[in-house]
Structure 1
Amino acid sequence: MWLQKHLRSRDKNQVLLDLQELQNLFCAIWTECAWQIADASESGTKFIISDNPVVSCNRECQPNSQWCRGVESPDVRYVATHTYFPLNPNKILIFTNLSWVRDPFQKPRTVRPNPGFFRNAMFKFTDIQVERMLTEEEVREINYITKMSAHRYIAAAEKEWLYPEEHLSSTTWRTFGDGYLLMPDPRHVHGGGEIIIGYKDGHSERFSEYGHRPWDSDFKNKRREKREWDAMQKFKAEWAATYGPEYRGVIYNMGPKDARRAMSDDYYLDECERDKEYLKAAGELNRRKKLQRRR
Structure 2
Amino acid sequence: MSHSWGYEATNGPSKWGASFPIANGDRQSPIDIVPGNASHDPGLKPLKLKYDPSTCLEILNNGHSFQVTFADDTDSSTLTDGPISGTYRLKQFHFHWGATDDRGSEHTVQGAKFPAELHLVHWNTKYASFGEAVNKPDGLAVVGVFLKIGNENAHLQKLIDKFSVITNAKTQTTFVDFNPATLLPGCLDYWTYLGSLTTPPLYESVTWIVLKHQITVSSAQMAKFRTLLFSSNGEAPCCMENNYRPPQPLKGRVVRASFK
Q: What TM-score do the two structures reach when normalised by structure 1?
A: 0.28
Q: What TM-score do the two structures reach when normalised by structure 2?
A: 0.30
Say which structure is richer in strand.
2
- The structure showing larger relative contact order (alpha-carbon pairs under 8 Å, at least 6 residues apart) is 2
Say which structure is richer in helix.
1
Larger radius of gyration: 1
